[in-house]
Structure 1
């Protein structure tokens, strides 16, 4: 039997203030955003996900004595920090806002949510390809780690050199190595091509400036001419991320280095609490945009179990995932999951969130969940899944399942027929499966 080697969790940085002091600093960073959140929630009629109207901006600016631009930024930051919840077109205070003055944990969680979403808070420079921006975002954790290890000011040229090295590593990891004409290893018949140009020093410098300004905007670091320094909040946040990574690396599940699909499968047998801990650790080791994109990529696949688990992991991401989740509502296989995610994000009780689904969407989701159980669960669980159908009776369920058009309908019905103890119901399921298979119902 081999013993798994573990790495010790990092110690808090020397001089880390107590949580009460960190929470005080977080309250200062978010003070204007909290005022905007209170104003929007008290006003009642919010703008949904669109920017505030010009009239709203002017009114809020006058009442709060802020500039219209600061009100707009405060609205965006309040949503990302979970200070407000959207219920249709109505804005309500989030639980963090309600607990703001008495719960330090709520304050720190709100600030960390904003810290994780720094690249959404600070708009990237115009005219730069999205790939270059994504690479810079992916390189930022290394920049933050260097700042944290240095425990003081770090010259910007040093950070620029690290950013450039990390971007080059990302290119290498993606095998972006062009063949020169006649080079050893070039495939036969390779035509001479100009090598792909690496991002210029000027581009890297521009992206580094953008990243540092974005992190400064959320209170993670301070900028002085020629150098950057982590704030106590930023220092603490980087330490928390490192601790999560180390704990995950020495946990029984240890899915930190797995791609999304492997991580989700590794969490499939865990109870909700440990699964969420694994999701948080996996997310902490990645940038939010790349993690969300990877999870949604898995959700688009054929494995229904992974689809459901991917959206569970996206619930841990929270506000930063909202634009991407909203964008996949039009995707037929993701629509029910996305609608439920958005309903819960906007404050609906999980037990009531199903009400946002149409009858057809609820039936489609029932078949998809049944497919996950058939592929990965026990036969008894598949039979019990019948009780969760909105139709109430098996004949009504079979009628609507035949028409819903899920690609796994036949397999689900056959699996149910094989598992069900009632011969008459099993026969009806086999008949329905045959009808769908032969064109008597939409496949």
Structure 2
């Protein structure tokens, strides 16, 4: 979820409501935006469509949000207010707004039924809804989970898509830690997947900046032009170079050529070595060494504004590229602007659109859609080389498609970016029969920590009925049994009922596998728990569960639950669980 755009949208919505005397249900509209961002890929208000509302209210809400059917009216009212705002602010045209309103009118009678339909519940909602106070007294009344349930999926640490680079040294939620440090060495870098060297070398040969640096050196040699006594490009030669070569920054090209070893100023003249020649004639290692030096020069040296066109932005280019390296996802120029405001560069109002074009010319960034930019694969490689030279650990994400199930799980836990992880999982499954894949994954999950177990069962959840024998075999494993029952019931296959103890255990297990993400982004975890977390009467009983993570789970809930009564119940239960483990 991109917290930045949602917060900005809510602020604009509040201002619009005050200006038009419209009552705004901020919490409900925030929830609509959060789930649209999390599950439907909505990244701006303008991305909302009539289909977005239909998917949200008839699919996502019934699956994720614990809410009585009679609450549908409040949610629909908030959705209609959001549509009015979208039209009034120009985010959607009148015809699309009319389609949205027609969709809301059409689904109004359907939504209460959808909220009450247990077959649409996700696994967490199924369990937390199934265990009412009376169920704890009469466990024989608890039936199997309904079909279509969804697992709580463990999340990798959330990228700082808002433009803030995460720092090491911060304590877990609610726990004070050392002051954050701006030093890059203090914040571990994520693993990155590198393109093959031959592809990188081919890309380096196409970087306009490198081509123009070579052209400038050839031009100086052919015309007998010389550098200054200090080895700099002569200001008097700038107009001719711009005119004859069609380049914007000849001084940058000369300095780059010297820094990378393409040329040098020797005895008042331009000198090149015997290997000087077109990029296409350089071998793979040579051209990549040249590119690595070029990246170091651009992001780590004083370029006086000649890279981006803005001196202050050039000074922050290392940190900006570092942020993009960590995010590993396209970032809008608005997010970049927000990041630069935090560094103080934003006060000078740099032309980011022009800067992005110049960085594209330099081979560092590429536009992927609209105003979204990301590092080029070549830039990722070059930055990783720079980090390594600086003594900063920069791990490489392995290709997991041919790994064992244990290696796949371990690799995913190491923080492989979401898109790469999805591709790895898909190719891993394609190379194995469903039954064999399920058996291998569940075998690796047996006895593993909750987060590893969660990854395994989430992948198995993608498999069809042909995996039934392998899944059914796990009914004898106390830790995997609840997940196996969910898998079987979701496909309408015969399965036993979960006991009260098993339901409580799997509730703790699902929350345990979410702990890493909760500690990384406690605000989002608190929001999710407020919408679809366990009720107080369930939390009160969790201390009885024989689960290795029960104390940590209850302490997390005690810190995170926004409802004071629920948080208090979690803290009391944590105390009982600790006392039980000691006694």
TM range (shorter): 0.3 to 0.5
Larger RCO: Structure 1 or Structure 2 (Cα < 8 Å, ≥ 6 residues apart)?
Answer: 2
TM-score by length of structure 2 reads 0.28
